[in-house]
Amino acid sequence: MQLIPRISRRAVASSLVAAPLALGLAKRAGGAASGMDASTAATGDGLTRTSEAIHQEISFKASTRRVYDALTDARQFDAVTRLSDAIALLSAPGAKATAINPAVGGSFVLFGGYISGLTLEMLPGERLVQAWRTAGWKAGEYSTVQFTLAADGAGTKLIFDHRGFPDGDGNHLAGGWHVHYWTSLALFLSQA
């Protein structure tokens, strides 16, 4: 007698939802398949000049697990947001509360709803990959962000890559990662 594995309706539904998103992300990130290393063409702001992609490397004085937790825990990320100049987004009319579903396939809402998306991969303390978008993009338009964490002495080196965003948004996004994420994240991590 052969056993047939049971598949839950939730697993099937998640697969159906994720498939078009994954195909769209693969199509949008097609430039990455050219074999060119985006980091070799990056300037000081992390924005490549050969394609619309951002590569940034940031050091934090905290463990990889602590940095990862701050990026994936709604309470902690809300505190990070409150330390940035984006705090006004949290109290704007119609603002949404910071929410992060800490599971692969889970959704997230950040900065009062200005940023949202789905988590594609999670390796605690090592890597986080998200389908990420701003409220100003066309419906269904997502980019891919990847946070890779590596121990750097007693601290963490975060290697960040952002691909597949709309042409012309690179300068704004590259600066925004520094202002809204890295500066306030460093401040948050220094407080505890």
**Domain spanning 47-190, CATH architecture:** 2-Layer Sandwich (3.30)
The H or E element that residue 26 is part of is helix 9-28
Q: What single letter denotes the amino acid at residue 24?
A: G
Are 152 and 146 in contact by the 8 Å Cβ rule? The answer is no
Quote the pLDDT of residue 88.
87
Q: Which residues of 30-59 are buried (b: 16+ CB within 10 A; e: fewer)?
A: eebeeeeebeeebeeebbbeebbbbbbebe
Report the Cα–Cα distance between both ends of the chain, in Å, rounded. 57
Please provide the size of the chain in residues: 192
pLDDT at 51: 60
Q: Where are the domains of the chain?
A: 47-190
Q: Indicate the Cα dihedral angle 26, 54, 71, 192, nearest 10°.
A: 170
Prediction pTM value: 0.74
At 52 the pLDDT is: 82
Mean per-residue pLDDT pooled into runs of 10, the chain (192 residues): 44 42 44 39 57 92 98 97 89 94 97 97 98 96 98 97 94 94 96 78
Separation between Cα atoms, residue 126 and residue 146, nearest integer Å? 11
Distances (CA, A) of 145 to 29, 132, 142: 11, 7, 10
pLDDT of residue 192: 64
What integer pLDDT is reported at residue 18 of this predicted model? Answer: 47
CA 99 centroid distance within chain: 14
